[in-house]
Amino acid sequence: MDTYKDSWNACLLYRNKQLTKQLKDYQKASALAGCSSSLIVAMGQLLCLHQKPAYGIVKDEAEWRDLFIVIDLFYGGCLSEELVPFSLSVQELRLCYMVRAHLDNKTIALLFNIVPRSVLKAKQRIKNKLTLSATDSLDKYIQQC
């Protein structure tokens, strides 16, 4: 009788794990389904940044804000809240969000209409503000926040 109970408990535990995972997936999907049109535009902008980056994809502050929300949604957490103590400028925060979205220096340079070397310099300034060592990777740090 105990063997039957143990098997039944194991079965129920396994099914519980499956259903918990499904519930999390449904919650993510429902969060996306309830998106406003501006967030859907931001998702399209993020897709463009990954597929066909160009200057002018993000046009104004509202679009930047929506893009930040989408990046936080897809990559987890609220990056801007994590970086508040470091007093980053608006442009530095934008760069951090682009790093969070796994964009390379060339793509970021295209988006900001600057040369890739300027992106490297900006990243170095941000590293200094975040008090990271010379051997620390800003990209890894931002992506793990």
pLDDT at site 7: 82
Mean of pLDDT values over 3-22: 80
Task: Give the integer Cα–Cα distance in Å for 69 and 77.
Answer: 10
Share of the chain above pLDDT 90, in %: 66
Helices (H), the chain: 2-33, 37-51, 61-75, 79-83, 90-100, 105-112, 116-129, 138-144
Domain assignments of the chain as residue spans, ordered by start: 1-34, 37-144
Q: How confident is the model at residue 64 (pLDDT cuts 50, 70, 90)?
A: very high
Length of the chain equals 145
- pTM score, whole prediction: 0.74
